[in-house]
A and B are shown apart, each in its own frame.
Chain A
């Protein structure tokens, strides 16, 4: 009898199947989480090559430790916890954090105006520089919230903070960014 495939989009079920050795389920999770995890890591380390290496490390670590994954936990929080630790480990090894951001190549469609694309790239650069001026905790929250599109609840689970603490950090970060952008006459 054909096995009924259901809840293919449920990360919890996919993780459970991956835990039992289902490589296809892990592939689904990769497709689901790779982009937000990569964006988070890139925003934190600001180097594409390093972000790629760390993203690989994160997914392989999760894969290797899948048997330790607790069924009742959220896979997204699990992936981001590992990603956060990978970034922290990277900084411990590097010992200095650069504010400089590698040039961001904006995806340009063939019918896009080159001038507009260049402007978008420049704006992205300015925003990334502004994020770099925030405290490490604020950067973490802001990148998870806006680059990876996590909810406050998911951020709280991934970082081990309360939702209230996440909300406060987010408000202070946005206030700091507003001041920075006003100084640059962007706002």
Chain B
């Protein structure tokens, strides 16, 4: 058995393959290396086995059809839209597509990205403002409700006063108070220690009316006085 060193085999392989590439047939190449016939035979046996592998590995046809269908789908769209479709072609998730399409928004179509960002800012601002306004309205409503409740309480109090029967008999009540306090109650302009009763009040009222009647009589007397009729002539003579 002819056993060559590794270096020798490398050299034979190199030369034999070079001849094969130039179109020499395998029997001719074997004949060209009579001392290393086994090595050359082994070489071409290995290359034949390796080449035979080609037939054992066949690509699935559906893969090729799938690629062609996907690229056709991309080709049929406008160039500006292709960036959005390539993610779908590669079977990426929505999030991955969004991330991978960042260049569509921020590089290739800068103006689109700018407008999109501005719209987002405006919408965000509007949402925030609406939220703040809602809070202010709530405060005002709360204050109004409190005031309304207070007003209701006042109305209820007034209605209770209106229904109070104590005021129906004022004279009786005053007499009762007077009796309870021993007939001496300090009230209004009445001097301290002066007795007050309904009878006394009536007497005061009658006295005041008499005085008023006197004053009225005096006034009528002035009306009848003729000394003033010639006031102008009097003053002229003076």
Expressed in whole angstroms, the minimum distance between the Cβ of A136 and any Cβ of chain B is: 17
Q: Give the B interface residue count (CB, 8 A).
A: 37
Residue of B nearest to A38 (CB): B59
Within 8 A of A (CB), among B85-103: 86, 89-90
Q: Is the CB of B53 within 8 A of A147?
A: yes
Any A CB within 8 A of the CB of B42: yes
| Contacting residues, chain B, for A107 (C-beta < 8 A) | 55-56, 58
A147–B51 CA distance with the chains assembled, in angstroms = 6
Any A CB within 8 A of the CB of B209: no
Q: Is the CB of B68 within 8 A of A30?
A: yes
A92–B63 CA distance with the chains assembled, in angstroms = 24
Contact pick for A146, options B21, B53, B56, B68, CB 8 Å: B53
Assuming the contacts A38-B57, A52-B63, A171-B13, asked whether A146 and B51 have C-beta atoms less than 8 A apart, the reply is yes
Any A CB within 8 A of the CB of B196: no
Assuming the contacts A175-B9, A187-B45, asked whether A64 and B75 have C-beta atoms less than 8 A apart, the reply is no
Contact pick for B63, options A56, A131, A142, A171, CB 8 Å: A56
Consensus secondary structure, chain A interface: helix
A177–B45 CA distance with the chains assembled, in angstroms = 11
Top 8 A-B pairs ranked by shortest CB distance? A38-B59, A146-B50, A124-B56, A171-B13, A23-B75, A52-B63, A171-B10, A106-B56
| Contacting residues, chain B, for A35 (C-beta < 8 A) | 58-59
Q: Is the CB of B43 within 8 A of A27?
A: no
Residue of A nearest to B51 (CB): A146
